[in-house]
Structure 1
Amino acid sequence: MTGDREFRRVRQHGSALRDPLLTLRVTDYRPRYGEAWRPRAIIGIVVPKKTLRRAVDRNRARRRVREALRTLPGGLPPCRAILMPNPAVLSAPFPDLQAALTRVLAQVPGRVKRRAGAPAAGTGRGGNPQAAGAVPAPMTPPTQEQP
């Protein structure tokens, strides 16, 4: 995320999801003004001086969380979020950090969980079937029957 305005919007309208290793404040994905609709995760990692005094520790916590997000097996849900790691992130094993992120991201509101055998997005009721990749049936002229 860039700019104080985006952080302020997430802080005001987001819901907080807590874990012993981190806190995630999350809102739904909305594109910036003039930006195309591409649902994706936009996450800002904030480590205040109150949490970790030394800059080395703040940077290390930021790098560990960024790498854990990058290597998550399930990917990230489309959202805007502020992630605030706790001091325990520095001493926690990396698989535990990934498990904590997976637990917290599973609670994100609006996350679409597809069941096995469920239709793909956009093929349900309503909407534009051409946008979902459906091909319309060709139009054939009516034939006249001869006696």
Structure 2
Amino acid sequence: MTTAVNDTGAAKAPWHFWLVGVIGLIWNAFGGYDYLMTQVKGDAYMQGAGMNAAQIAALHAMPAWAVGAWALGVWGSVAGSVLLLGRSQFAVHAFGVSMAGVAASLAYTHLLSDAGKLMGASGALMNAVIAGAVLFQLWYAWTMAKRGFLR
């Protein structure tokens, strides 16, 4: 079985590559929008998203390193999606940075503060979905790099 190659010598990406890349970019762009609006619009945005006063206070109480970890998680995934669609092997690194940010953010939320309890079951479920999505994207980018679809 032979693999078709393009003008640059890289293997042609399968149809699912573009599907995963576009869906990942949309998903991660929403995460970027949510992070940005939380930082810029603050309480009004968070209230509009259904957060109560205690949950908002918990976000305001986050130490700088936890906010930084959250930012790495979000923007690492956005960068990873863009790099993946650009067929760059650096997508793997960006998703790795994102996973580290997500892990640190989750450690703060669920182990080092009461924020996890304040966010409740729906917050825990959303955190699990986010972590799962980043882990999948990291695995997918790594797999595509190993198969020669990324340069």
TM over 0.5, yes or no?
Answer: no
Structure richer in strand, relative to its length: 1
Structure richer in helix, relative to its length: 2
TM-score, structure 2 length as denominator?
A: 0.28
